[in-house]
Structure 1
């Protein structure tokens, strides 16, 4: 088999695995869940052990959960929401995410943890103590906020995330909006703050930064906002040219994520992957293609798929169609805070011993 044939086979296998773990029929199967749990546990030779896992909220506060190494993200999310007082019926509006916060740097949402993933193994394979697992809302249409207004605890989570988006400057309020929002923060008027945020540009969107693109020319920088049935891309070419492109989700024809192999002189880091998202879109009568290089490629793909699933007319059909994203590649980002690594050996020696596990990070299965 030639090198070109090998690469083509690898790409086809990657796309097949991405499609399998994105199929709701497959991922709702108990057989699949048990198989994938066993696969993850066996891959890392991990015994089933009790431990205490910290799950964070957007303001940095955390809840500690008594879980097992073999507990899935779906199970951990249920436990976290229960401890936060959010009713089980509202669980579909939230998910677990890997986030990263540098001491004096930006905050980044790295990826969504799929329901079948094992959050503890995500931590176990991280090398950086600045990653953590965070509970965040999981819908791309801001109007869905209305579904949570009957729960004080859910409102608290919405408020914390909205404040974070505002303070991180992921949204674009006008000067007047900014003054009103600052006033609401001082008054701690949560409902008024959320009501005002609904009128702010890019509220409820996911912010993707540190990307490069082949459009409008190679090595162009691009900042992306995705949400509310659109993807907004702001391109900045090396020559100083700036261009904005706002695409409706219905204009996207297809997309796929590829895990690129590192160059020979590079060492593959579990914290950083070479990922690209390539998408085709319709512009007038022509079909165009853009490639985005970003470590958040799987997250971006997840958001695009989520927007498709939220479109009421096509929901049933699209849930059964191929939706390319969610990794089966195993991107391991490994961290822990407060000396978690030093506790790992002791944890495995005694199955009854508890371990406090902080910060969590990326695992693209």
Structure 2
């Protein structure tokens, strides 16, 4: 059963947030610390003060309720999603999947341009936001992909495309693997390519530089990732009890993963942080880092890749082509990990180009 959903956070939860922010116990900071020890104190105080005194959740809530929200239950888990139908009745449907520490909010600025040509289904990952929390182990990317296949079937879509970044990319390629007869193609804006000593490929100097960056990350696993992969429940206690802790945990990722020329605005970021806080999903969202590393089946459907210059890692095409049927590859000089929020016009046009080509392929099918 699919039911309409309206966002309506209890006022008591907003009052509690205000009181907790006002009672924040701040740590000290060494002189001239900059980013050497983590998120700078002055900047975090600025964000927290704006969250408490300048940010208006109700205004953002009202704007979000202008979208068509729904919930349904799949595999024992509530799934929240936004469903926007194109004015073109025969349009291809796309399922757009966010990652961590994002949410369905990542796609707000691309709904209008993409819905000109496509029906859009934008779910919240299990354990995230209004699809959370989860209550049992095992919600890895393959299980999520199977849930998305059931969701699209429930909505009546026989053939559709999948798009995602971060965990959304992993879910989208897994969806292509579990439902290849349904998925016309997968477009991703994050596709890690690890060094492969057995590949026997001659790579360009720029590709080797990209792999050096990957090697560095593999040798120096980011602290947030190590904690969420190993002990998501432990870090969840701190993040669920302290709004400033949740703010710092997410704001650091936005600060470090975006192109300095295309930052995500404080209002949008605070709405994302508020979504995690008000749904108490810090721990359940972190569990995906614990469960996600399981191997997935190869993705047999056509794949499109958009590489944004300031992403965490940059894909190496010769290595990607060993694993995927690459039909489309774009390189952008602007944008970072949150491309749909940072450079929505570039993101939307690349997604449109890939899936319109897939639509033409569909029309030529016997």
Name the TM-score, length of structure 1 as normaliser. Answer: 0.29
Higher strand content, 1 or 2: 1
Question: Greater relative contact order (Cα 8 A, min sep 6): structure 1 or 2?
Answer: 1
Higher helix content, 1 or 2: 2
